[in-house]
Structure 1
């Protein structure tokens, strides 16, 4: 349903001046009102879905902690989810990349069943200890809800694209409680360097409504500790640049690890449902090898320890979390990549803080957002994310902007979203999908 815009009036006869017309363009006004209303509805529905998901996630995480033997059910749980997606998913397994593809070049409606499937599959992943996140689930639920609404109302073309971009902002905002970052992420991730100006208002409305809905339903997001007063100096900025280069390289390693495990699992098991079965066995083996369960599930305690000064965080924690997440998501389990990226970044920040003799809490906070910036190719959204999480202070603006910018530059062409487009210096090309 493309909202009609009245055609321009014909040119006046030669030699006459058109009369000034100050009447409002009613078609444009109607179009914007409809867009805002639909965006608010997407934000509301996505917020409800995110609240239910976060509540279920709390239950799954608590249950896994209280019943450690659930880990040994991870292979069979993955096999069951793999069967459902393989025979009943109808394309839902493409996840966030499917939403990005439909924004770029619409081919088919996003399956309405995607919302329910990803909700259940992610809860199962965490209930049995898989290393995954939450963002992918929230965005996929929001995208499925938005496209289902668009299909029911007959909305197609440009207006449908706007609704899908708004859905990305709503999903990200609702699950993390960061409406400004959710807004920026949605605009930046779908095509880097190309801002869809027509989606700005709708995305802002959807992100704000989703966040407000989650809070209204009683969900309280995890609070991060304050970084205190940050005193910048040329020496500290130099150390941050070095650390941020490492964050960018780590984001490349993380993305490539996911893609490589995905390819390897496909070679080892041609039947898709068998891949998470194998992945679950490998996660159990890795847990026995490392001798701790700290890298299972969301691993949020590692973020807290890192931001508190790094006590109790192993210097190689970032590598272990990358391995556990690659084995989980790369083999076919479902969930998000963003929270694991936060963990990898924060723990790598601890290591870099020790190596460079820099304030560990500050390097951990910078790493948390910078590794995400490099892996998702969203430096602006990641900078805003850091300010929403840690506070809008002038020194932190410099720290997060520097860290995310350097990380993005050093991250190369790899990324966790294979359907993301990039546009630089007037050229646009699609990132190649891993073979």
Structure 2
């Protein structure tokens, strides 16, 4: 490619990436503003939680009637990046936004990254369609939509960029989408902040030198993180399978999930595990008397909410679970509690989503460079220990995490056990 051709390609990616980032930023700002209003209203009217089963019934009916083509959520986005011919329906953006806000209004334990990613990808695909781009460019714009949504909803553009490249295929980075993803994430974050959205400010842990004894503690820490990640993944997918098999009508199994959350709420005797749980995350950074079972409570609340089909993402609940677990493990291992919470917060999602690089960067953007290299070590080890599973079964994989021959083709995690391998290639 000559210089003028390179300049045209650069200009195209900057323009398209900026457009994607702009719409992602606006969508995230609207979403976060509505989410804050819904959370504050629920906190002021706690009896709304009793209506969560009714909300599940209504949301299930709406999704059953108009949302069948978008029920795959993040997995639909990942499938489309790899093999989709049909455009992601534009209605995904408003429907997932409304569904997530209502989930939080009535106390469901869910996050926000799923909504942001789905809105970003849906809007990016509409832009790709309007500009009549090539299939290759479309895939890269979808990655940019993922990056723009993730980066703008958390205020972490670098992590959003790498997440958009890393989440698509386990163990690989899609560098071909680097420029549009970076542009979309940076522009999206700037737009969201420019519209007056303020993100959570996390405490900055004190620096800790990496010595051999500290490294040994982090390896034990990583085993605990991996075990909880597996419990979350298998619990969420397992409950979803059981409900779909036993109660195939979506409104009813969402209503049952709502009843389950209400029951857990009364059993726990606290509202700490409802909604996003940001106050619980912040508490984990400093409270040396945090209940030992806090992470388990939040895990069960979230598994029931998401496994039943309520809308939202996994990141913020996993941040809560990881920070609370990190607090406990730090106390047991003699590590600083604030550092344990920061590392646990990022590493648990890294292990569950198979994105150790993105979450290591995210930890730096959220709590500062003092978290390195500890978070990178724990996130990487936990990622390997979770095996070939994840919260997104549509993630592709070409080679098993611990090496060996290439698979015969790039396959989804959900299909991995049926995938043949190239016998002619020697293990590496």
CA contact (8 A) 1:257 1:322 kept: no
Distance of 2:191 and 2:240 partners within structure 1: 36
Asked if residue 82 in structure 1 is aligned to residue 52 in structure 2, the reply is: no
Distance of 1:324 and 1:142 partners within structure 2: 27
1:250 Cα deviation (Å)?
1.0
Q: Which of these residues, 318, 324, 346, is aligned with residue 369 of structure 1? A: 346
Q: CA RMSD in A?
A: 1.6
Q: Which of these residues, 199, 202, 206, is aligned with residue 221 of structure 1? A: 199
Give the length in aligned residue pairs: 410
1:268 aligned partner: 246
Asked if residue 120 in structure 1 is aligned to residue 117 in structure 2, the reply is: no
Distance of 1:138 and 1:210 partners within structure 2: 11
**TM-score, with structure 1 as normaliser:** 0.91
Pairs within 5 Å for 1:344-359:
344-359=321-336
CA contact (8 A) 1:346 1:366 kept: yes
1:74 Cα deviation (Å)?
0.4
Distance of 2:158 and 2:5 partners within structure 1: 29
1:27 Cα deviation (Å)?
4.0
CA contact (8 A) 2:206 2:339 kept: no
1:433 Cα deviation (Å)?
5.7
Q: Which of these residues, 261, 265, 278, is aligned with residue 300 of structure 1? A: 278
1:429 aligned partner: 411
Segment of structure 1 superposing worse, 152-161 or 127-136: 152-161
CA contact (8 A) 1:310 1:361 kept: no
Segment of structure 1 superposing worse, 319-328 or 121-130: 319-328
Pairs within 5 Å for 1:137-286:
137-286=115-264
Distance of 1:343 and 1:317 partners within structure 2: 9
Distance of 1:106 and 1:59 partners within structure 2: 36
Distance of 1:370 and 1:229 partners within structure 2: 18
What secondary structure sits across from 2:373 in the alignment?
helix
1:411 aligned partner: 386
Distance of 2:138 and 2:263 partners within structure 1: 45
1:233 Cα deviation (Å)?
2.8
Distance of 1:332 and 1:203 partners within structure 2: 29
Distance of 2:20 and 2:298 partners within structure 1: 34
Distance of 2:34 and 2:365 partners within structure 1: 25
Unaligned runs of 5+ in 2: 418-428
Asked if residue 68 in structure 1 is aligned to residue 43 in structure 2, the reply is: no
**Residues 5-45 of structure 1, C-alpha deviations (whole Å, 9 max, x = no match):** 8xxxxxxxxxxxxxxxxxx3544432332222011000001
CA contact (8 A) 2:288 2:331 kept: no
Asked if residue 38 in structure 1 is aligned to residue 20 in structure 2, the reply is: no
Distance of 1:388 and 1:60 partners within structure 2: 27
**Residues 28-73 of structure 1, C-alpha deviations (whole Å, 9 max, x = no match):** 4323322220110000010011011110011011011000100011
2:395 aligned partner: 420
Q: Which of these residues, 399, 417, 420, is aligned with residue 374 of structure 2? A: 399
Larger-gyration structure (1/2): 1
Distance of 1:255 and 1:90 partners within structure 2: 23
What secondary structure sits across from 1:318 in the alignment?
helix
CA contact (8 A) 1:122 1:334 kept: yes
